[in-house]
Amino acid sequence: MNKSSNFELLGKSPEFQALLRSLEVASATDVTVMLSGESGTGKELLARHIHRKSRRQHAPFIAINCAALPEGLAESEFFGHIKGAFTGAIADNPGRIHMAEGGTLFLDEIGEMSLDIQAKLLRFLESGEYQPVGSQIQRHADVRLVAATNADLRKKVDTGSFREDLYYRLNIIPFHVPALRERTGDIGLLIVEITKRLSTEYQLPAPTYNKAAMDCLQHYAWPGNIRELRNLCERMLILFSGKEINDGNLPREIRHQQTRRWTFSLPDTGIKLEELEQELLQQALEKTSGNQSQAARILGLTRYAFLYRLKKYQLQ
Ligand SMILES: Nc1ncnc2c1ncn2[C@@H]1O[C@H](COP(=O)(O)OP(=O)(O)OP(=O)(O)O)[C@@H](O)[C@H]1O
Ligand SMILES: [Mg+2]
């Protein structure tokens, strides 16, 4: 996928649209944004979106993956170093904070940052100042910070691997990026649109998915989220270009997931089935902001069967 189409955010579900609206409000300010969500949910794409919607859009967007920083070089990656600061420092290195001047610094997988760098980052966030490795001079930078994590940072604070003061400093506006199974209304759209983009990129005719295949994909839990969905679209495009895909053509794990999806087991103390049913009906309505057709779909019911149950329990 080329860079520009990578930027296009797809999603019309109420969950995703609500997130975009709040992100756009935050983008207009300089406030620090924290994006948390499972792997492959689109955190990096959303961080770029915040940058593009901000007054900093013409300045650089610089990303640092805190999990991929080589031990010992992290400080210099962030804050830069001067020539001769350590063995191998053969020239000055400005560092990523300097490179992001006037723009946005994206700290990916922030939960993996070492305690030492956390302390230095906190100092920078509080004063706007930092010191390149080997230098006596304080430097100043004006950057907006967006951080992302797929770990539970609060838990890391509790176990002492993440500083509490930095946690509060970063968590000014936290956003939960929903997993694909929390925005099932987008699955069909994502499959069609991503297949379209890939077919242009590969110059291959797009395959189509028949109803049985689409149903199967709608019910799959997508543990790898949009990244997994994109990879599937790519694989299906190559294998079934120009053809119709039915459920039997889908990978095993997707076909079999449907039967394994339910992990609920009846407790020894029993349950009250009717109460549980009412609870699920209500949760489905809440999740879909009252949209009865969508609520019916996520419960695997027809709209008619759904309305019948609402009436039965007088939930309407
Ligand atoms: N809303 C979206 N519309 C279109 N494509 C998307 C969307 N969200 C994510 N993608 C695509 O899904 C893939 C994963 O997105 P991204 O790298 O932003 O996820 P992530 O949350 O940062 O994942 P990780 O935690 O593993 O780093 C990318 O190919 C991205 O282009
Ligand atoms: Mg990422």
Residue-wise pLDDT tens digits, 60-71: 999 999 998 887
CA of 13 to the centre of ligand 1 (A): 16
CA distance 153 to 192: 35
What's residue 28's pLDDT? 94
Q: What are the pLDDT digits (tens) for 116-153?
A: 999 999 999 999 999 999 888 999 999 999 999 998 89
Helix (H) or strand (E) holding 62: strand 61-65
- Phi, psi for 182 (deg, rounded to 5): -95, 0
Query: What's the pTM value of the predicted model, to 2 decimals?
Result: 0.80
Same domain, residue pair 116 and 231? no
CA of 228 to the centre of ligand 1 (A): 10
Whether the predicted pLDDT of 7 surpasses 70: no
Task: Give domain status of residue 268, yes or no.
Answer: no
Mutate to test the pocket of ligand 1, among 1, 41, 153 (most ligand atoms within 8 A of CB): 41
Query: Residues with beta carbon inside 6 Å of ligand 1?
Result: 6, 9-11, 37, 39-45, 150, 226-227, 230
Q: Over pLDDT 70: what percentage of the chain?
A: 95
Structure tokens at 54: 């901000």
Same domain, residue pair 48 and 165? yes
Low-confidence winner among 88-97, 147-156, 175-184, 305-314 (lowest mean pLDDT): 88-97
CA of 259 to the centre of ligand 1 (A): 28
Q: What is the mean pLDDT of residues 240-262?
A: 83
Same domain, residue pair 37 and 145? yes
- Check: CB of residue 229 under 8 Å from CB of residue 1: no
CA of 237 to the centre of ligand 1 (A): 19
Same domain, residue pair 38 and 172? yes
Which atom of ligand 1 has the smallest separation from the CA of 6? 31
Same domain, residue pair 171 and 80? yes
Whether the predicted pLDDT of 8 surpasses 50: yes
Whether the predicted pLDDT of 20 surpasses 80: yes
User: Which stretches of 112-209 are assigned E, i.e. beta strand?
Assistant: 129-130, 139-140, 144-149, 173-176, 208-209
